[in-house]
Amino acid sequence: MAMLGITMVVLSLAVVVNIRGTSLKQRDLEYQLKEETLAKQVALEEQRAEELEEYRIYVQTKQYVEKVAKEKLGLVNKDEILLKPAN
């Protein structure tokens, strides 16, 4: 009788451990997916930061200032002639 009781307790513990193990494996998979998603987001943010830094440097150049002056303000250099198409 005692042997049967011990066997039942061991079997019960084995079932509980198995169920917990399965639950932990599922959680691990979920965390791995979250980690991959976050890693992709970090990579995108780093790329955006690099692009912004390149743009910040570009807008401080003489080339950018001349481009904006011509396109948005309609200004020209002293040695340039502005030609407009006839309507």
pLDDT at 35 over 90: yes
Compute the average pLDDT of residues 38-57: 97
Domain annotation covers residue 45: yes
Phi-psi group of 56: left, alpha or beta (phi > 0 → left; psi -120 to 50 → alpha; rest → beta):
alpha
Domain annotation covers residue 66: yes
Domain annotation covers residue 87: no
DSSP state of 61: S
The domain of 44 spans 19-71
C-alpha distances (whole Å) from 5 to each of 14, 18, 76 are: 14, 20, 97
Domain annotation covers residue 34: yes
Give the span between the Cα atoms of 69 and 64, in whole angstroms: 8
Compute the average pLDDT of residues 34-58: 97
Domain annotation covers residue 33: yes
Which pLDDT band, with edges at 50, 70 and 90, does 78 fall under?
A: confident
Give the rounded percent of residues in the chain with a pLDDT score beyond 70: 100
This prediction's pTM: 0.57
pLDDT at 77 over 90: no
Domain annotation covers residue 50: yes
- Check if the beta carbon of residue 48 is closer than 8 Å to that of residue 54: no
Domain annotation covers residue 77: no
pLDDT, greater one: 82 or 49: 49
Domain annotation covers residue 28: yes
Per the structure, the count of domains in the chain is: 1
